[in-house]
Amino acid sequence: MGPFPLPRERRRGSLGRLVVTAAALPAPRDGLLGRLSDLLVRHPGLYLSLLLIPPLMWLGIVYLGSLFALLAQSFFSIDEFSGLIDRTLTLATYGQLFQLANMDIVLRTAGMATAVTIASCIIAFPIAYYAARYASGRAKAFFYLAVMMPLWSSYLVKVYAWKLILAKEGIVSWFAHTLGLDFLLDGVLALPVVGGPSLSTSYIGTFLVFTYVWLPYMILPLQAALERVPGNLIEASEDLGASPKQTFRNVIFPLALPGMIAGSIFTFSLTLGDYIIPQIVGGSSLFIGQAVLTQQGTAGNIPLAAAFTVVPIVIMGIYLTVAKRMGAFDAL
């Protein structure tokens, strides 16, 4: 009789465990609901599938279905004589989209989204770096409060407040006049393309409002990425004789880049599809969102509006693919 149990003893132990397990199972219940409940208990995978089917159907019908309908409508066209939608599949609408006037709208919107994203990165990096490396306790709590508070206020209230601030009789003009900087403000407004009668009716004003509204979406992912940078790497770089510039270029920036790209997903996409800010603060030239609203509402050209809508979807699809390969989703 060695230290190992005999086969009969092992079988006896297994039988005992089976008896205990069988005794722990609930007794079968009568009725349709009881049998159904027992079935779901015995098959948790079936129970999980029944729970997931309704939201997945909602996602498939409402979200993916609407995208498919949008894509399908972009291949329709408008009959020149009746003004009705011709549901014959054609690329004529996309040919119209690539006309110079419409491509100018696309390039203007993409340029604004790029400028806002770059400015947000430049402004957000020192703020996020301080919060990640130096702030602690109350200072970090104040940082989160200061970043989150603008997100708690109404989007429209912020935009209209900026319209008043940037107006010709607004506080910015008053400060410029008080400090004797009228010539500087007039010089900025006289710039071709981006200038205008006042900041509230210029692309500069649109750029400022976009940057202010979307800046928190850049700060938070960037701050999270910078907090993941190990302090010993920075110390090792300094011990090896690297200058602060070399440490930033070779250590900090590469590790913070995924967070920066993650933040740019928000700033770029939100600017690309927004139509309210350019409508309230900005010049007379259209952005993609305004073009969609105009073509669908005023002109009644739904196929062209759908084709305009496909443009930011394609741009963001390419952008997200590149961002995923650069590890941006790990910083979200």
Q: Using CA atoms, how far apart are residues 245 and 248, in angstroms rounded to an integer?
A: 5
Task: Work out the number of other CB atoms within 10 angstroms of the CB of residue 88.
Answer: 10
Is the distance from CB of 272 to CB of 285 less than 8 angstroms? Answer: no
- List residues bridging with 77 in a β-sheet: 86
Q: Using CA atoms, how far apart are residues 265 and 13, in angstroms rounded to an integer?
A: 59
Is the distance from CB of 114 to CB of 210 less than 8 angstroms? Answer: no
What is the mean pLDDT, run by run of 10 residues, along the chain of 332 residues?
48 46 54 72 79 86 86 87 83 91 93 95 93 84 88 90 90 88 86 82 92 94 89 86 88 89 92 91 86 82 90 91 78 58
Is the distance from CB of 258 to CB of 326 less than 8 angstroms? Answer: yes
- List residues bridging with 86 in a β-sheet: 77
Is the distance from CB of 217 to CB of 266 less than 8 angstroms? Answer: yes
Tokens of 125: 């990096």
Nearest to 66 by CA among 309, 317, 320: 309
* Domain range annotation of the chain: 104-331
- 3-state percent helix, strand, coil for the chain, nearest multiple of 5: 75, 0, 25
Q: Using CA atoms, how far apart are residues 89 and 95, in angstroms rounded to an integer?
A: 13
Question: Would you state the torsion angle of the CA atoms of residues 24, 25, 27, 29, taken in this order, to the nearest 10 degrees?
Answer: 150
Ranges assigned E (strand) in 15-147: 77-78, 85-86
Which CATH fold would you assign to the domain 104-331? MetI-like fold (1.10.3720)
Backbone angles phi, psi at 77, to 5 degrees: -145, 170
